[in-house]
């Protein structure tokens, strides 16, 4: 292996020091020549000179460059087979016979003993099947599947889950190309119905040392379809406020033309737009105003095109929640920060909110600002009655500067019994006391992580706070926004906590909850572990299309908090569903909360079906912090449903609680079964692998090994003198010389 020198000083300086030491050695021993015999003198002088030369060599810092290091043992190889229903399409010609995509995939891999033996000799084989998620299979169990029936194929999630299951360590991401530790062989038709980008997942797999090779099965078939979706499934507003409802209309396989898009309110047409369509996506925007508080159902309807393959996706629903009054918000910040400053400015611009804020500038100098011009003075609320003037309380840092033990109990009672909501703006608010430990939805530690990049969970993607305006999905938007500057490390999540977003610092750190909430009695507690969210409101010019993301996140989140579990006037209960959209194969979960003590019996939940029929189900009372009662319901058909409950017996003037949800047929794998070779090619390119044909499949082992030899990780350069025996040798030389001098009588 090559040897080079990397001295910490200039060579001339090192040579000068060495000559000085050699000169001093010769002068010293020149004084002792008459005291010892010549042989002993030469031996002692040689020991001293060797020591000086050894120290000189260390100063020159000889470095030995590393050599490529092969992966020890058999590297892992992931065999990833698509088990969704689209794989049952019989459009692959094999030996003159049309076979299903699944039959061909199985014949090429799990039913091919020669292929499996060749791989097993060189690789540790991991077999996965995937539809909505990846599952580990034995070869026998996967080969036993005669007709896959997965309802959707999520290629991105499958790649990510398979790599996470087998990758024990992540290589550095700054090498190009990254080192190869194994590989992934993906067999699919390329029809992706998941929420994670397959191309991005393949890129991450490559970065972790697992290049992705793809084999696309099936033929590409033309599609003629119009699809309409609501950009926001739920929007919040104040009475009389004009809001915008936006429908996204996607066209595929249809010629350029124009279509009519209708907006229905409670089933009646209230507006119409003519939209010019072309391949891709177009938006139809409608403005609506509701003068009174309530829950309003709107429907977008796009007229069918000639020869359209699927008419079920020509309708989409949106729900408008109109709050009775402006929500009152109190912002407390003990140590003013950019997060609190940008948040206060954003909330003051929202016409549906009234913001009061108190900043503790110094220990004796608070700064209070009221959002109500009629209120000249602002006092810190310390009792349940004073806190009840607000719907949401936001706390940054320095909780102990505002609340003592007595007011803390009032805060908890306000959340538990009065339906108040608490938002922890920058991680743990009570850094010097354990006052809020039982309220926090996550378990904080004292450590911090840097550069926390946001990743939305499934619950986060469906949450109103992340329903951003624009053509891109919320996951793509947050991925392109700046990472949070720091975050309090979260070590656990409490029971019934809903995680909306997760984050990861360095690549070797475990992903943790970043934004989460849990119900506490009749209210909620939201925790945002990260700091630096304000950067989303201060974007460079090349990200100007995301300028509204910050304000949309906060205003929609606070409206959701104020509207979701704040009892409307006259209501003694609240009813909601876990999601706003379901498939006909899913159970709808109802949960509800009650104001005051729980009764012995609850009235039935009344469900109005799309065909006008009424179903009734009985809720079940139970004891937990998440809800006071619950019920489950299986919808019999697709369409729009409305559920209501109440009032409680003995309260005749009370207002029933209502909620709405949409049910659609889960036919995403059946509507269009065209193969997607373009996506499979993009996955292979991003994953650093290749697109294979059935004839090339047996060569994958050679291809992976060739790639591994090129990109093998090199051993880091190592200084030659940094070894234990070098130190022992130098100490031994000095000790021997000293003992020899003492023996012959020299000082």
Cα–Cα distance, 11 to 9 (Å, whole number): 6
State mean pLDDT over 277-281.
Answer: 75
If you average pLDDT over every residue of the chain, what do you get?
81
My answer on whether 100 and 60 are in the same domain is no
Q: How many residues does the chain have?
A: 747
Asked if residue 5 lies in contact with residue 61, where contact means CB atoms within 8 angstroms, the answer is yes
- Banded pLDDT at 315 (limits 50, 70, 90): confident
Least confidently predicted of 67-71, 449-453, 587-591: 67-71
pLDDT at residue 632 tops 90: yes
Please report the pLDDT score of residue 577 as a whole number: 84
pLDDT digits (tens, 9 = 90+) for 243-272: 888 888 888 778 888 889 999 998 899 999
Structure tokens at 284: 């139809």
Encode pLDDT of 486-510 as tens digits: 888 888 888 788 899 998 766 667 7
Contact 508, 170 (CB under 8 A): yes
Does a structural domain hold residue 428? yes
The pLDDT score that the predictor gives to residue 453 is 85
- For residue 31, the model assigns a pLDDT of 62
Residue 330's pLDDT is what? 92
The verdict on 656 and 686 lying in the same domain is no
What's the average model confidence in pLDDT over 414-435? 84
- Does 196 lie in the same domain as 231? no
CATH number (domain holding residue 107): 3.40.50.410
Phi, psi of 515 (to 5 degrees): -130, 120
Q: Is the pLDDT of residue 52 over 90?
A: no
Place of tokens 């034995």: 138
Instruction: Please choose, from the candidates 496, 492, 505, 519, the residue with its C-alpha nearest in 3D space to the C-alpha of residue 455.
Output: 505
Q: Which of 639, 668, 697 is where one domain is finished?
A: 668
Nearest to 687 by CA among 212, 216, 214, 215: 212
The verdict on 356 and 482 lying in the same domain is yes
Q: Say yes or no to pLDDT of 366 above 90.
A: no
CATH number reported for the structural domain that contains residue 598 in this entry: 2.60.40.1930
Please report whether residue 249 resides in a domain. Answer: yes
Helical H segments across 74-166, by residue range:
101-108, 113-122, 139-143, 155-166
Domain boundary among 305, 322, 339: 322
Could you tell me the pLDDT band of residue 174, with boundaries at 50, 70 and 90?
A: very low
pLDDT at position 96: 78
- For residue 214, tell me if it sits in a domain: no
Compute the average pLDDT of residues 351-374.
Answer: 81
**Is the predicted pLDDT of residue 81 greater than 90, yes or no?**
yes
Here the CATH number for the domain that contains residue 313 is: 2.60.40.10
Same domain, 424 and 394: yes
Residue ranges making up the domain that contains 300: 225-322
Claim to verify: residue 521 and residue 478 sit in the same structural domain: yes
Q: Is residue 732 part of a domain?
A: yes
Strand, coil or helix: what is 428?
A: coil
Q: What six digits make up the tokens of 608?
A: 């109005």
Of the candidates 659, 560, 663, 537, which has an alpha carbon nearest to the alpha carbon of residue 610? 663
Record the tokens describing residue 385, joined without a space: 């009655």
User: Which three-class secondary structure state does DSSP give residue 282?
Assistant: strand
- ∠ CA 531-533-534 to the nearest 5 degrees? 115
The answer to whether residues 146 and 251 belong to one domain is no
DSSP E strand boundaries for 505-568:
512-520, 523-528, 530-531
**Bigger pLDDT: 666 or 642?**
642
Q: Is residue 342 pLDDT above 80, yes or no?
A: yes
Report the number of distinct structural domains present in the chain.
5
Number of DSSP helices (H) and strands (E) in the chain, helices first: 17, 39
What pLDDT digit, counting tens, does each position of 460-484 carry?
Answer: 887 888 888 777 888 888 888 988 8
Asked whether residue 546 falls in the same domain as residue 453, the answer is yes
Q: Is residue 220 part of a domain?
A: no
| Confidence label for 681 from pLDDT (cuts 50, 70 and 90) | very high
* Residue 120 contacts residue 110 (beta carbons within 8 Å): no
Percent of the chain at pLDDT > 90 equals 20
What band does 97 get if pLDDT is binned at 50, 70 and 90?
confident
> What would the 3-class secondary structure string for 456-516 be?
ECHHHHCCHHHCCCCCCCHHHHHHHCCCEEEEEEEEEECCCCEEEEEEECCCCCCCEEEEE
pLDDT of 109 reads 93
**How many angstroms from the chain centroid is the CA of residue 524?**
22
Rounded to an integer, the average pLDDT of 121-131 is: 90
Beta carbons within 8 Å of 16's beta carbon, 6+ residues apart: none
Question: Is the per-residue pLDDT at 107 higher than 80?
Answer: yes
213 in a structural domain? no
Among 98-112, 163-177, 689-703, whose mean pLDDT is lowest?
A: 163-177
Q: Are residues 383 and 523 in the same domain?
A: yes
The pLDDT of residue 211 is above 70: yes
For position 570, what pLDDT does the model report?
A: 46
Q: Find, among 395, 376, 385, 389, the residue nearest to 331 by Cα.
A: 395
Does some domain include residue 673?
no
Q: Radius of gyration of the chain from Cα atoms?
A: 34
Q: What is the CATH number of the domain that holds 478?
A: 3.40.50.880
Contact 316, 527 (CB under 8 A): no
Higher pLDDT, 95 or 565: 95
Over residues 529-583, the pLDDT tens digits come to: 988 888 898 888 888 888 889 999 998 888 888 765 445 534 567 788 877 678 7
pTM beyond cutoff 0.75 = no
Cβ atoms < 10 Å from Cβ of 10: 9
Res. 178: pLDDT tops 70 = no
SS3 741: helix
pLDDT reported for residue 430: 81
Rounded to 5°, the CA angle 140-144-150 comes to 115
Q: Cβ(514)–Cβ(530) under 8 Å?
A: yes
Q: Do the domain assignments include residue 551? A: yes
Angle at 550 between CA 247 and CA 351, to 5 degrees: 75
Same domain, 171 and 25: no
- Claim to verify: residue 398 and residue 533 sit in the same structural domain: yes
pLDDT: which is higher, 416 or 667: 416
User: Which of 517, 541, 564 is the last residue before a domain boundary?
Assistant: 564
User: Across residues 184-205, what is the average pLDDT?
Assistant: 87
98 or 622, which is more confident: 98
- Do 427 and 550 share a domain, yes or no? yes
């Amino acid at each position: 292996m090559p040897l080079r020198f990397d001295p910490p000083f200039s060579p001339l300086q090192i040579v000068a020091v060495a000559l000085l030491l050699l000169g001093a050695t010769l002068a010293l021993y020149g004084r002792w020549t008459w005291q010892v015999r010549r042989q002993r003198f030469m031996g002692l002088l040689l020991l001293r000179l060797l020591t000086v030369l050894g120290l000189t060599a260390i100063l020159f810092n000889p470095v030995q460059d590393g050599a490529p290091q092969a992966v020890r043992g058999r590297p892992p190889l992931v065999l990833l087979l698509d088990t969704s229903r689209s794989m049952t399409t019989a459009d692959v010609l094999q030996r003159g016979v049309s076979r299903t995509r699944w039959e061909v995939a199985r014949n090429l891999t799990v039913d091919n003993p020669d292929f499996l033996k060749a791989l097993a000799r060189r690789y540790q084989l991991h077999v996965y099947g995937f539809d909505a998620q990846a599952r580990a299979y034995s070869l026998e169990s996967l080969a036993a599947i005669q007709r896959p029936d997965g309802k959707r194929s999520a290629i991105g999630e499958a790649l990510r889950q398979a790599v996470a299951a087998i990758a024990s360590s992540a290589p550095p991401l700054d090498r190009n190309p990254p080192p190869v530790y194994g590989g992934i062989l993906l067999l699919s038709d390329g029809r992706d119905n998941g929420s994670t980008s397959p191309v991005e997942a393949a890129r991450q797999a490559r970065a972790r040392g697992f290049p992705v090779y793809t084999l696309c099965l099936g033929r590409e078939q033309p599609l003629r379809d119009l699809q309409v979706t609501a950009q926001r499934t739920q929007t919040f507003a104040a009475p009389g406020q004009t809001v915008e409802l936006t429908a996204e209309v996607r066209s595929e396989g249809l010629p350029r033309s124009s279509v009519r898009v209708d907006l229905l309110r409670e089933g009646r047409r209230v507006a119409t737009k003519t939209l010019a369509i072309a391949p891709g996506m177009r938006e139809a925007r409608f403005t609506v105003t509701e003068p009174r508080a309530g829950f309003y159902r709107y429907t977008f309807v796009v007229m069918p095109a000639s020869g359209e393959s699927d008419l079920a996706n020509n309708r989409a629903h949106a729900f408008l929640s109109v709050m009775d009054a402006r929500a009152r918000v109190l912002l407390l910040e003990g140590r003013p920060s950019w997060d609190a400053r940008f948040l206060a400015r954003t909330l003051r611009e929202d016409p549906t909110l009234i913001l009061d804020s108190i900043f503790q500038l110094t220990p004796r100098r608070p700064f209070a600002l009221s959002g109500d011009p009629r209120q000249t003075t602002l006092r810190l609320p310390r009792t349940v009655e004073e806190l009840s003037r607000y719907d949401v309380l936001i706390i940054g840092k320095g909780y102990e500067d505002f609340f003592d033990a007595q007011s803390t109990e009032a805060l908890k009672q306000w959340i538990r019994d009065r339906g108040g909501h608490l938002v922890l703006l920058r991680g743990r608010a009570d850094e010097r006391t354990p006052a809020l430990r039982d309220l926090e939805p996550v378990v904080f530690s004292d450590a911090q992580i840097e550069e926390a990049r946001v990743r939305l969970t499934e619950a986060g993607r469906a949450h109103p706070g992340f329903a951003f305006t624009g053509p891109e999905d919320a996951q793509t938007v947050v991925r392109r926004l700046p990472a949070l500057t720091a975050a309090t490390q979260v070590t656990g999540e409490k029971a019934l906590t809903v995680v909306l977003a997760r984050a990861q610092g360095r690549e070797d750190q475990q992903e943790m909850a970043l934004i989460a909430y849990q119900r506490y009695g009749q209210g909620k507690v939201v925790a945002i572990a990260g700091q630096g969210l304000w950067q989303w409101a201060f974007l460079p010019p090349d990200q100007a299309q995301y300028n509204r993301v910050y304000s949309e996140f906060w205003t929609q989140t606070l409206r959701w908090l104020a509207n979701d579990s704040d009892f409307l006037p006259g209501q003694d209960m609240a009813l909601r569903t876990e999601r706003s959209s379901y498939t006909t194969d899913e159970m709808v979960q109802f949960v509800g909360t009650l104001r005051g003590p729980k009764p012995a019996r609850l009235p039935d939940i009344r469900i109005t079906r799309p065909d006008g029929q009424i179903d009734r189900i009985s809720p079940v009372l139970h004891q937990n912090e998440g809800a006071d009662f619950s019920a489950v319901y299986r919808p019999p058909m697709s369409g729009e449903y409305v559920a209501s409950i109440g009032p409680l017996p003995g309260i005749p003037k009370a207002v029933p609680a209502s909620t709405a949800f949409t049910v659609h047929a889960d036919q995403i794998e059946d509507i269009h079964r065209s193969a997607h070779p373009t996506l499979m090619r993009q996955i292979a390119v991003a994953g650093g692998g290749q697109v294979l044909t059935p004839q090339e499949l047996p060569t994958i082992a050679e291809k992976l090994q060739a790639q591994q030899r090129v990109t093998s990780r090199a051993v880091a350069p190592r200084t030659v003198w940094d070894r234990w025996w070098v130190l022992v040798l130098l100490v031994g030389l000095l000790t021997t010389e000293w003992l020899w001098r003492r023996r012959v009588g020299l000082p």
